[in-house]
């Protein structure tokens, strides 16, 4: 896997922030941002999914990641956050991936303390308290 | 005259231990670095060598810096105590440097392993040449 194509809705607040934040992060694999209105041409077979999903990530080897997996794949591409992608992929934390992403991309200092929390359940409680902006897509 | 002999003994033991630790680091640390740099032996050897040079500079520098003593031992007992006192500090510094090097090695290796880690989950679907998505 050499790069990811991140299909995101430019109207969505969190997705716009995602683009800016991803651009500034050191990466293990490249990231290409593609606005969802242009993605249907690039991936015609994915068009229905793109219309439904807030975020879709496509890897250069053809893997398609949707929903919570898409958020985690963005973290997976980053040098400083790959370990987070692994941690958040546990069944307890996966449903909170979007909230986790919103926090990680907004406030690194605060989150670094949470790394010390031992169990997934403790981290889940912290993440559940977060209300990331919803997208109307 | 005891102080001069003390200096000689101090220098001989300190420098010998420094060389021994540096050689150990150089020999055993190589395996870590080769693994960390995905088998690129030339790069690993280069980093290894540079780390050892830094190790020598810091330790020999400290040994030289800590040589001078205001004490003037009048008998063998005082001379041994003085040498022991100084050697103790040198060994502690060497130990600290040694663990710092181990920390650097393991950190470099962990980062390298992380860079090769596959995604923690399989894709939800796979794009193929066919117009239909495979998978869930």
CA A115 to chain centre: 18
Nearest neighbour of A45 by CB, restricted to B121, B124, B133: B133
- Domain annotation covers residue B132: no
- The answer to whether residues A85 and A65 touch, using CB atoms and an 8 Å cutoff, is no
What residue numbers bound the domain in which B28 lies?
Answer: 2-120
Segment 51-110 of chain A within 8 Å of chain B by CB: 58-59, 62-67, 69, 72-73, 76, 79, 82-83, 85-86, 89
- Rounded to an integer, what distance in angstroms lies between the CA atom of residue A73 and that of residue A82? 9
- Rounded to an integer, what distance in angstroms lies between the CA atom of residue B114 and that of residue B4? 53
- Domain annotation covers residue B131: no
More confident residue, B110 or B12: B12
Q: Are strands A30-35 and B134-135 parallel, antiparallel or unpaired?
A: unpaired
Q: Give this complex's ipTM.
A: 0.76
- The answer to whether residues B73 and B6 touch, using CB atoms and an 8 Å cutoff, is yes
**B133:A46 CB<8 A:** yes
- Transcribe B14-53 into DSSP letters: HHHHHHHHHHHHHHHHHHHHHHHTTT-HHHHHHHHHHHHH
- Rounded to an integer, what distance in angstroms lies between the CA atom of residue B34 and that of residue B27? 12
Residue B85, token pair as written in the block: 């006192």
CA B73 to chain centre: 35
pLDDT digits (tens, 9 = 90+) for B66-104: 898 888 888 999 999 999 999 999 899 889 988 888 888
Domains of chain A: 3-128 (3.40.30)
- Domain annotation covers residue B126: no
- Domain annotation covers residue B46: yes
Distance from CA of A6 to the nearest CA of B (A): 14
Counting Cα atoms < 13 Å in the Cβ hemisphere of A6 gives 26
pLDDT digits (tens, 9 = 90+) for A16-52: 778 888 888 889 999 988 888 888 788 888 888 887 7
- Domain annotation covers residue B130: no
Write out chain A residues lying below 8 Å of B113, CB-based: none
Q: Are strands B125-126 and A63-66 parallel, antiparallel or unpaired?
A: antiparallel
* Cα nearest neighbour of A26 on chain B: B115
Tally of domains in chain B: 1
* Best mutation target, A65, A75, A78, to test chain B (most B CBs within 10 A): A65
- The answer to whether residues B37 and B43 touch, using CB atoms and an 8 Å cutoff, is yes
**A58:B127 CB<8 A:** yes
In terms of C-beta density within 10 A (0-12 exposed, 13-18 middle, 19 or more buried), how is residue B92 classed?
Answer: exposed
Q: What is the pTM of this model?
A: 0.65
pLDDT digits (tens, 9 = 90+) for B13-71: 999 999 999 999 899 888 888 888 878 889 889 989 998 999 999 999 999 998 988 88
Nearest neighbour of B127 by CB, restricted to A45, A69, A82: A45
- Work out whether the CA dihedral B74, B76, B77, B83 comes out positive or negative: positive
Distance from CA of B93 to the nearest CA of A (A): 30
Residue B82, token pair as written in the block: 């003085």
Residues of B with CB under 8 A from a CB of A: 114-115, 117, 119-128, 131-133, 135
- The answer to whether residues A53 and A8 touch, using CB atoms and an 8 Å cutoff, is no
Tell whether A120 lies on the interface with B, counting CB pairs under 8 A: no
Distance from CA of A125 to the nearest CA of B (A): 22
pLDDT of A114 strictly over 70: no
Write out chain B residues lying below 8 Å of A44, CB-based: 131
- Domain annotation covers residue B67: yes
- The answer to whether residues B123 and B135 touch, using CB atoms and an 8 Å cutoff, is yes
């Amino acid at each position: 896997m050499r790069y990811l194509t991140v299909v995101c809705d430019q109207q969505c607040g969190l997705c716009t922030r995602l683009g800016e934040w991803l651009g500034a992060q050191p990466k293990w694999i490249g990231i290409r941002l593609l606005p969802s209105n242009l993605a249907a041409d690039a991936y015609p077979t994915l068009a229905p999914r793109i219309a439904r999903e807030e975020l879709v990530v496509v890897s250069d080897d053809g893997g398609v990641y949707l929903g919570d997996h898409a958020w985690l794949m963005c973290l997976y591409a980053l040098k400083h956050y790959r370990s987070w992608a692994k941690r958040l992929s546990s069944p307890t934390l996966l449903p909170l991936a979007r909230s986790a992403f919103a926090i990680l991309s907004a406030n690194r200092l605060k989150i670094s303390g949470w790394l010390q929390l031992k169990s997934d359940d403790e981290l889940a409680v912290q993440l559940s308290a977060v209300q990331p902006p919803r997208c109307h897509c | 005259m005891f102080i001069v002999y003390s200096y000689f003994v101090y220098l001989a033991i300190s420098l010998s231990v420094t060389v021994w630790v540096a050689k150990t680091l150089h020999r055993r640390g190589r395996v870590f670095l080769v693994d960390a740099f995905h088998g690129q032996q030339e790069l690993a050897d280069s980093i290894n060598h540079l780390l050892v040079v830094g190790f020598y500079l810091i330790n020999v520098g400290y040994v030289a810096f800590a040589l001078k003593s205001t004490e003037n031992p009048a008998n063998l007992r005082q001379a041994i105590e003085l040498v022991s006192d100084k050697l103790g500090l040198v060994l502690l510094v060497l130990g600290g440097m040694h663990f710092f090097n181990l920390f650097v090695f393991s950190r470099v290796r962990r980062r390298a392993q992380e860079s090769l880690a596959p995604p923690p989950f399989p894709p939800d679907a796979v794009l193929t040449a066919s117009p239909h998505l495979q998978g869930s």
